[in-house]
Amino acid sequence: MSAFEVTRRQRASWALAAIIPLSYVIGLTAAPDRRLSNIKRAFVVPVDDLGDDRPVAVCLADHLSQMTPIVAVNAQEEAEAVFRVSAHLPSATKRAMMGSLGGAPSAHLFVELADGTKLWDDGAKLRRALGRMGKLETADGTKGVECGLADELLDTLREAMRHARDQK
C-alpha cells in the first residue's frame, strides 16, 4: 500500500466521522414541536396582503379542515395558532421557460402559537402537476396554482403533525 492510499482512506474516515454527528444534529433540529399535533383551531394570514401570499392563504384556509383536523377561524383571538403563508407564483411563461430552475411556484407556511412561539415552518413547490407550457394539469381541471400550492403545504403540515404526534 502506498502512502497516497492510506491518506485517501484517512480522509474518507475523517469525512464520515464529521458527517455522522452533523446529520444527527440536523435530524434533531428538524423535528417539529410536539404541540403541533394538538392544534385544533388556527388563524390563517398571508405574510404580504398585496403579494402572491393572499390567494394561497385563502385556499389554505378553505382546505384546512378537509385535509387536517384543524379548523380555520375568522379571528386571531379564537385561534390556538397562527398560520402565516408566503408564496411565489411565477407566470405561466416563466414556468414554461425556466422549469425547475426557479420557475416552479412555491410557498412557505410558518406555524406559531398565539403568543408568537414558533412551532414549525416548511415550504412546498408545485412541480408534479405542471404540464406542458407551464400550465397546471389536474384530474378535475378546476384547481388553480394557488390551491395546488395550498394543498402541497397541507400535505407537508399533515406529515409534520404525524411526526410530532409519534415523537417520544
Provide the 8-state DSSP code for 61: H
Kindly report the number of other CB atoms within 10 A of residue 34's CB atom. 14
Please list the pLDDT of the chain residue by residue as tens digits (168 residues).
Answer: 555 555 666 666 656 555 655 444 444 445 778 888 899 999 999 998 888 889 999 999 999 999 999 999 999 999 999 999 999 887 666 555 555 565 678 899 999 998 889 999 999 888 755 454 445 555 444 468 889 899 999 999 999 999 988 886
Q: Please give the tally of structural domains in the chain.
A: 2
Provide the pLDDT for residue 25.
44
pLDDT at 12: 62
Do 108 and 120 reside in the same domain of the chain? yes
- pLDDT of amino acid 24: 45
Same domain, 26 and 80: no
Do 15 and 42 share a domain, yes or no? Answer: no
- Pair (39, 25) in one structural domain: no
What does the pLDDT read at residue 5? 57
**Nearest Cα to Cα of residue 128 among 109, 143, 118:** 143
| Structure confidence at residue 71 (pLDDT) | 94
Read off the CATH number of the domain in which 158 is found.
3.30.160
Q: What pLDDT was estimated at residue 92?
A: 62
Q: Are strands 71-72 and 41-46 parallel, antiparallel or unpaired?
A: parallel
Q: Which domain holds residue 46?
A: 33-166
Query: Comparing C-alpha atoms, which of 43, 41, 116 is closest to residue 75?
Result: 43
DSSP 77: G
d(CA 42, CA 35): 13
Taking each helix axis from N to C end, the angle separating 53-67 and 145-166, rounded to the nearest 10 degrees, works out to: 50
- Three cell numbers, residue 63: 382546505
